[in-house]
Amino acid sequence: MLEIHLILLFMIAAAIIAVEVRDMLSSVVAVGAVGIGLSLAFLVLKAPDLAIMQLVVEILSLIILVRATSHRDLPFSASGRWVFNTVSTISFILIFLVCAYISLLNLPVFGEPQLRELSKFYIDEARTLTGAENIVESIALRFRAYDSLGEATAIVVATIGVLAIARRVSIKGKADDER
Amino acid sequence: MSIYILCLILFSVGLYCVLRKRNLIKIIIGIGIMEYAANLFFILIGYRQEGRAPIYAHDQVINNMVDPLPQAVVLTSIVLGLALMLLLVAISIRIYEKYRTFDITKINRLKG
């Protein structure tokens, strides 16, 4: 699995660039590179539905982020407790990595998942029960249809929230003239 | 094993960005990177060596398929990540209009 290692190294490099570069537009473009790399990784890991979905979602979120950052640059300032902040952040991340490594020891080896009862049932019975050729879609739209319904509900709620936050006219009926 | 560690490093980059940076847009970017790493981790757990995509074909060997359940879960998670990012960006644009800055250390005064 050399290619997935290479894609992951590319994603890490792009993520570090996105975090550390000072120009906001370059940062947003670098995070777009991370998302496209994730789409490629899904393709290599045999998940074509997710690759398509990730590509679409990545482009949409890139457009939204560019809209947010255009003409709104922030001059970089490193005042304050720089040493304390950095040391506490890095020590927290080190603690997290140690705990995560301990829990990784109990996972199955990469490439040999222990298929549990549920996954086995889906793989064996999905075609006869739903008639769909694509198992992922048959799980998402038939076996777990209420999950998809909840997802649609969450998206509607998020859209209502965005409309409520971003509308120009306030409750009193006068326009916000901050802009 | 090494590939799980690379995935964890990607998550840590996002965590560092969220904890250390002071720009709201950078924090949103860090949350996005953490979300990518979590989605990738689900798919990595379900991957089977020399496996095939979970789509039926005529010459398909059943035992040789990757696990379809994490893929179906991540499919939901990706779309919800888009909704999350949209809401965060809307809130941060609103904060920018009110305070004229993205710096979280300067967003501390009460203003009616």
pLDDT the model gives residue B83: 92
Do A165 and B44 lie within an 8 Å CB cutoff? no
Domain boundaries, chain A: 1-72
As for the ipTM of the complex, it is 0.89
Write the pLDDT tens digit of every residue in A14-62: 999 999 888 888 999 999 999 999 999 999 998 899 999 999 999 999 9
Question: Does residue A14 sit in helix, strand or coil?
Answer: helix
Q: Which CATH architecture has domain B2-49+64-99?
A: Orthogonal Bundle (1.10)
Work out whether the CA dihedral B105, A64, A69, A33 comes out positive or negative.
Answer: positive
Instruction: Please check whether residue B47 touches A, CB under 8 A.
Output: yes
Radius of gyration of chain B (CA): 20
CA-to-CA distance for A115 and A98, rounded, in angstroms? Answer: 27
A141 Cβ contact list (under 8 Å, min separation 6): A132, A148
Domain boundaries, chain B: 2-49+64-99
Tokens of A108: 């199955």
Write the pLDDT tens digit of every residue in A138-179: 988 888 899 899 999 999 999 999 999 888 765 555 555 544
pLDDT the model gives residue A154: 92
| 8-state DSSP, A176 | P
CA A92-A96-A102 angle, 5° bins: 150
Give the A window 26-65 contacts with B, CB below 8 Å. Answer: 27-28, 31, 34-35, 38, 41-42, 45-50, 53-54, 57, 60-61, 64-65
Instruction: Please check whether residue B3 touches A, CB under 8 A.
Output: yes
Question: Cα torsion for A120, B80, B33, A111, to the nearest 10°?
Answer: 10
Chain B residues lying within 8 Å of A112, measured CB to CB: 48-49
Task: Indicate whether B62 pLDDT > 60.
Answer: no
- The distance of B109 to chain A (nearest Cα, Å) reads 16
pLDDT the model gives residue A74: 60
Residue in chain A closest to B75 (alpha carbons) equals A50
Write the pLDDT tens digit of every residue in B63-109: 678 888 889 999 999 999 999 999 999 998 888 888 877 888 777 77
- The distance of B59 to chain A (nearest Cα, Å) reads 13
Residue in chain B closest to A19 (alpha carbons) equals B17
Give the pLDDT band (50/70/90) at residue A78: low
Instruction: Please check whether residue A69 touches B, CB under 8 A.
Output: yes
Interface test with B, best of A39, A98, A135 (most B CBs within 10 A): A135
Do B36 and A11 lie within an 8 Å CB cutoff? yes
A4 Cβ contact list (under 8 Å, min separation 6): A41, A44, A45, B3
CA-to-CA distance for B17 and B31, rounded, in angstroms? Answer: 8
Chain B residues lying within 8 Å of A118, measured CB to CB: 69
Question: Does residue B65 sit in helix, strand or coil?
Answer: strand
Write the pLDDT tens digit of every residue in A87-96: 999 999 999 9
Instruction: Please check whether residue A164 touches B, CB under 8 A.
Output: no
Amino acid symbol at A172:
K
